[in-house]
Chain A
Amino acid sequence: EAGVAQSPRYKIIEKRQSVAFWCNPISGHATLYWYQQILGQGPKLLIQFQNNGVVDDSQLPKDRFSAERLKGVDSTLKIQPAKLEDSAVYLCASSPLTTGQGAIYGYTFGSGTRLTVV
């Protein structure tokens, strides 16, 4: 089975610019997660979807970050305007299970998008 696809792999932007990341989860996976991993830290959950509905976005900085998952498949994460502290790897993950079960049995990560804000 194909893995979780993310694009682009790398992105360099200036602060105050906008950027968007794309994720295509494993076919049939209902649950999708976006994580932010800052250098030297563990991944931190930004938002999770169950199909096309948001389950938890409590840690998403909503003044600048937005995400959507149209039709319960692909997802995009947008930052507008970007700040220097947004420099990180943005990881998308998916699971065939419900959100709670996915948190128990693990999920599959994509390779991530490395964002550098200068």
Chain B
Amino acid sequence: DQQVKQNSPSLSVQEGRISILNCDYTNSMFDYFLWYKKYPAEGPTFLISISSIKDKNEDGRFTVFLNKSAKHLSLHIVPSQPGDSAVYFCAASAWTGNQFYFGTGTSLTVIP
């Protein structure tokens, strides 16, 4: 039962353009959402988060948008840089829960 879904396994974007990574979830109990970035042979590293009381959170080039009614969130990277090339996982948790549920990841390639 995949509670968090990333339907695009891969995405290619030109350097300087916007990258938009999407994530859908099914569990209405999820309150907190995070994005992790993973380089090959490394563990995931935390990138940005958003709670359900907000619909947008921004940190530098990274912005996460949350649409609770659609159970959808997206990560925008502007402008995209070659160093952003990695696998991006979205994850969700509930305040009353103990764990993150991860999506399957989207592999982003930023072309110089």
Contacts and interface: CB of A to CB of B under 8 A. Distances in A.
Considering residues A55, A56, A103, which has the most beta carbons from chain B within 10 angstroms of its beta carbon? Answer: A103
Interface in B41-98: 41-46, 49, 51, 89, 91, 93-98
Nearest to B105: A42
B15 interface: no
Nearest to B42: A111
A97 to B, nearest CB: 11
Give the contact-size bracket for chain A.
Answer: 20 to 34
B50 to A, nearest CB: 11
Contacts of B103: 42
Contacts of B41: 9, 111
Given A100-B95, A105-B49, A45 B100 contact: yes
A112 B104 contact: no
Contact of A106 (B46, B96, B104): B46
Interface string B100-112: 1111110000000
Nearest to B97: A103
Contacts of A9: 41
B99 interface: yes
A48 B100 CA distance: 11
